[in-house]
């Protein structure tokens, strides 16, 4: 178990997931195609240009407000070159590929807040990839839903 997973597990046990104690730790690692890894804590993600979208998901009731950072903004900050396929991985080792065409065409975000609240691990947090399904009805379907990975902890750019 890596340090990040241990800190988050301890946060749940102690009941302060999403609090300041958990926010100082790396919350997301981004690996570029050159193998370099860029780590972000929550403060660093929030310092990037925030983006809010309202959309339905199959896992929530009614429209929900998600706030986070667009993947294009995140990858620019991390030095990820355009055109790479992105492998997204969750705390439970679930992994999915996100094509660059999705990232370029739609405002796909890494959400850190749901309805103005930070998301604890037990509620799909701390990070959740969200596609704007209400703005683009063709995104509704199991193919896109499989890409909306929650408990996200790493992104890897692959050629």
pLDDT for 29-44, tens place per residue? 999 999 999 999 999 9
Residues of the chain above pLDDT 90, percent? 79
pLDDT for 50-102, tens place per residue? 999 999 999 999 999 999 999 999 999 999 988 888 999 999 999 999 999 99
pLDDT at 159: 75
Cβ-Cβ contacts under 8 Å for 32 (sequence gap 6 or more): 38, 78, 79, 80, 81, 157
Identify the residue whose tokens are 């660059």: 100
Distance of CA 2 to the CA centre of its chain: 18
CB-CB contact of 126 with 112 (8 Å): yes
The number of distinct structural domains making up the chain is 1
**63 φψ region: left (φ > 0), alpha (ψ -120 to 50), beta (else):** beta
The whole-chain average pLDDT of the chain stands at 87
CATH of the domain at 87: 3.90.420.10
Q: Which band of pLDDT confidence, cut at 50, 70 and 90, is reported for residue 18?
A: very low
Residue from 82, 60, 45 nearest 133 by CA: 60
pTM for this model (two decimals): 0.83
Q: Is the pLDDT of residue 142 over 90?
A: no
Q: Is the pLDDT of residue 12 over 60?
A: no
Could you tell me how many residues make up the chain? 159
Residues of the chain above pLDDT 70, percent? 86
- Domain encompassing residue 7: 3-158
Q: Is the pLDDT of residue 136 over 80?
A: yes
The CA-based dihedral angle spanning residues 51, 57, 60, 63, taken in that order and rounded to the nearest 10 degrees:
60
CB-CB contact of 147 with 98 (8 Å): yes
pLDDT at 11: 41
Q: For residue 111, what is the enclosing H or E element?
A: strand 109-114
């Amino acid at each position: 178990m890596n340090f990040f997973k241990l800190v988050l597990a301890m946060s749940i046990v102690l009941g302060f997931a999403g609090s300041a104690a958990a926010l100082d730790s790396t919350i997301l690692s981004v690996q570029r195609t050159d193998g370099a890894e860029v780590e972000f804590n929550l403060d660093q993600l929030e310092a990037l240009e925030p983006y809010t979208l309202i959309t339905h998901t199959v896992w929530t009731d009614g429209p929900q407000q998600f706030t986070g950072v667009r993947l294009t903004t995140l990858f620019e900050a991390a030095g990820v070159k355009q055109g790479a396929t992105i492998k997204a991985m969750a705390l439970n080792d679930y992994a999915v590929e996100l094509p660059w065409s999705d990232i370029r065409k739609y405002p796909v975000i890494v959400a850190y807040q749901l309805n103005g609240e930070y998301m604890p691990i037990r509620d799909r947090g701390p990070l959740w990839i969200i596609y704007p399904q209400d703005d683009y009805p063709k995104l509704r379907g199991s193919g896109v839903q499989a890409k909306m990975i929650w408990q996200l902890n790493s992104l890897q750019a692959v050629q």
